[in-house]
Chains A and B, each alone.
Chain A
Amino acid sequence: MRRREFPGLGRRHNIGVPGWLNLKSLRQGLNHSYILKARTTVRVLKGSLKASSLCLIILITLGLISRYSSCAYEGEKTLSSISEADEKLRQAFAAVLKAEKAGAAISDELTNKLNIAQELLTRANTSFLVGEYGNASLLAGQSMNLADAIVQDAGYLENQAESERNTRFIWALLLSTVGLVMLFVVSFFGWKLVKKRYSRQFLKMKPEETTRA
């Protein structure tokens, strides 16, 4: 290492300068600093580019994940509504069967309604299988609404049938009771009459002689 004097600076203040730092090298250094700056800028740019592409990748990944999860969520939701519609249809069938057993006359209209609800459910299932979740949910919802209406109709028919059955039973019981009372009264007096007639006929009978051998 060499020592070099700088104007305004005493010997005492001579500072140890590395050999490469002369004017030329200063100029070069200046250029170097520009290069360094440019390099730094490039590095920063590169870094930011890397960061932004990383961010982009993350965003795309997040977007895909969110889309996938939203699809999965939508699919799950649709499947759940289809299951619910299926359950409601079974409940509707059970309600109609109960009404029929209670004595209600199940009209063709109610059976047709059940078949329409079933058809909607089948179409909902088909739409779900091809990925049309919105349509599937809509169809399942329609099926559910129809099933609810069927349950209400069946309930009304069941109540009506039970009420009619009770009325019929009360009338039948009343008429039977009156009929039985009349029968017993008539039979009581009738028996007296029959018995009297029998006694009279018995008394009118003449003893017959039997010849002995």
Chain B
Amino acid sequence: MSLSDLKSLYSASIVILSLIILAPTLIIVVSVPQGEQFSELYLLGSSHTAESYPFNVSQNKTYRVYLGIRNHIGSLGYFKIYAKFRNQTESLPNSTTPSYLPQIFEYCVFLASSSVYETEVAFSFEDVSLEGGLCRVARFAVDDREISVTEATTWDQQNRGFYFQLFFELWIYNTTVSQFQYDKRFVGIWLNVSRIV
């Protein structure tokens, strides 16, 4: 090994050692990039699993599902879940835009980083009528709160039923713009109300 090679090796080891000594200071100044930041929205059936969801529903009977959020955004989050109700022809939210339908009720929660919020949603159909091949829902109850809705659907020949969808959109508060923004996540269940009539 020549002297110049030895000198290079020595200098490199000094630089490495300097970086090791400076590391604690650099960690305080430079922010370390975090992993993937995301939120999670889920809906479980009455048995608290991803099955036994209510499907064939009757009037004045209570059904239960479990709605949950997981916070993986790396900080405290202010979330809102908007519950909406639609028939087969009305629009569903997609990965970028929420549904234009008005919310029938909402849940608001502050969730610390890496924590979970779960709530039981107990719902029932209070006022359902069948008029000229059209099934109308006028009143809906969620957690003992009655909500007026005006939704109607026609008979689905293919699937043999009157179908409505109860779905939940996740919104998150953005402090930069000081308002809630659609978090590009939604979950929902189809409900066949043909057993009512």
Contacts and interface: CB of A to CB of B under 8 A. Distances in A.
Nearest to A117: B110
A202 to B, nearest CB: 8
Interface stretch (A10-18, A29-37, A95-103): A95-103
B104 to A, nearest CB: 13
A31 to B, nearest CB: 71
B75 A93 contact: no
A4 B76 CA distance: 115
Interface string B59-85: 000000000000000011010000000
B108 A100 contact: no
B21 A183 contact: yes
A111 B110 contact: yes
A106 interface: yes
A115 B109 contact: yes
A162 to B, nearest CB: 12
A111 B21 contact: no
A43 to B, nearest CB: 56
Interface string B9-20: 010001001100
A173 B29 CA distance: 10
A176 B25 contact: yes
B29 A169 contact: yes
A183 B110 contact: no
A59 interface: no
B3 interface: yes
Contacts of B110: 93, 111, 114-115, 118
A83 B24 CA distance: 46
B22 interface: yes
Contact of B75 (A101, A183, A190, A195): A101
A195 B3 contact: yes
B8 interface: no
B21 to A, nearest CB: 4
A199 B57 CA distance: 93
Contact of B22 (A180, A190, A198): A180
A184 B18 CA distance: 9
A115 B80 CA distance: 12
Interface string A100-134: 11000010100100110010001000000000000
B25 A169 contact: yes
B6 A118 contact: no
Q: Which of B3, B18, B28 has the most CB of A within 10 A?
A: B28
B175 interface: yes
A172 B17 CA distance: 16
Contacts of A115: 109-110
Nearest to B175: A94
A175 interface: yes
B111 interface: yes
A106 B175 contact: no
Contacts of A184: 14
B142 to A, nearest CB: 13
A96 B3 contact: no
Contacts of B29: 169
A97 B24 CA distance: 25
Interface of B: 3, 6-7, 10, 14, 17-18, 21-22, 24-25, 28-29, 75-76, 78, 108-113, 173, 175, 178
24 contacts: A90-B173, A93-B110, A94-B175, A97-B75, A97-B76, A100-B76, A111-B112, A114-B110, A115-B110, A118-B108, A118-B110, A122-B108, A169-B25, A173-B25, A175-B24, A176-B21, A176-B24, A176-B25, A180-B22, A183-B14, A190-B10, A191-B7, A194-B6, A195-B3
Given A169-B28, A191-B10, 9 more contacts: A108-B112, A168-B28, A172-B24, A172-B25, A172-B28, A176-B25, A180-B22, A183-B21, A187-B10
